[in-house]
Amino acid sequence: MKRVFNFIRKIQGKLNYYLIKWRLFGFGEKWNKVNLCGGGASVVGFCNVDLYPTADVNIDLEKKLLPFKDGSMDTLVCISAINYFKRDRGAKIIKDAYRVLKSGGVARFATQDLMLLAKKYVEKDKEFFFQKLSDGKDRFPGKTMADKMNSWFYGHKTTAGKPCRYVYDFETLASIFKEVGFSEVENKKYMESSIPEVKEMDNRPDQMFFLEAIK
């Protein structure tokens, strides 16, 4: 399966190069909203940037940054993805998100909440940690709560095999947004947003916080 994924991604990468150029130079569909690391999900009006073969823009954010012009986007959403990058790389991605947004543009990032997960661990919330999926498998891998807790630091691999690399709390992620220049940074509730389409993107409120910032 991984070999098939890599083969498709290689072909997609070549086609995607020309597609990006086609759109960035003013032809075809114009984008002004970005769904960053949206996997295979397609949200109307949003350019999906991901490693996933069917993404609109297929790039590896470990190696490259966004191929959009400065100040060209109204909205950028990134749900449950910044945790798959080391903190320094995550900061570079956030800085690039700031670059491509217009003045007054909105960025919404959601990621696993270290404080929330730590609270559940300290309180020995077995009901949360030992949840089962509809097929009977464990929702979170590992035999013990410590095993499961550690999965947010090195497990939960993406389709491309990338594991989690950093777990934020709101204060830490917000500090990065402020450092790169965002003027307003707020801790929003699940599906509380100025972005109408967020209802199609927000997920897992039992383990994440939702940050929204204005350039």
The model carries a pTM of: 0.86
pLDDT tens per residue across span 31-43: 899 999 988 778 9
Residues 158, 84 contacting (CB under 8 angstroms): yes
**Is 70 exceeded by the pLDDT of residue 6?**
no
Name the band, by pLDDT with cuts 50, 70 and 90, for residue 19. low
pLDDT tens digits, residue range 41-77? 789 999 999 988 889 998 999 999 999 999 999 999 9
- Give the long-range contacts of residues 183-187, CB within 8 A, separation 24 or more: 183/214, 183/215, 184/213, 184/214, 185/211, 185/212, 185/213, 186/211, 186/212, 186/213, 187/211
- 97: tokens are 């998100």
pLDDT band at 21 (very low <50, low <70, confident <90, very high): very low
* pLDDT of res. 30: 77
- Domain 2-110+166-214 CATH class label: alpha beta
In this prediction, residues 186-207 reach a mean pLDDT of 96
204 contacts 119 by C-beta, under 8 angstroms: no
Instruction: Determine which of 11-15, 104-108, 110-114, 123-127 has the lowest per-residue pLDDT on average.
Output: 11-15
pLDDT (average), residues 132-140: 95
Assign 116 a pLDDT band (cuts: 50, 70, 90): very high
Query: What does pLDDT average to over the chain?
Result: 89
Q: Where are the domains of the chain?
A: 2-110+166-214
Q: Please identify which residue in the block is written with the tokens 């949360």.
A: 128
pLDDT at 14 over 50: no
Across the range 107-132, mean pLDDT stands at: 98
pLDDT > 80? residue 107: yes
Is pLDDT of 4 > 70?
A: no
Q: What does the alpha-carbon distance between residue 114 and residue 106 come to, in Å, rounded to a whole number? A: 24
Pairing of strands 184-188, 208-214: antiparallel
Alpha-carbon span 119 to 126, nearest angstrom: 12
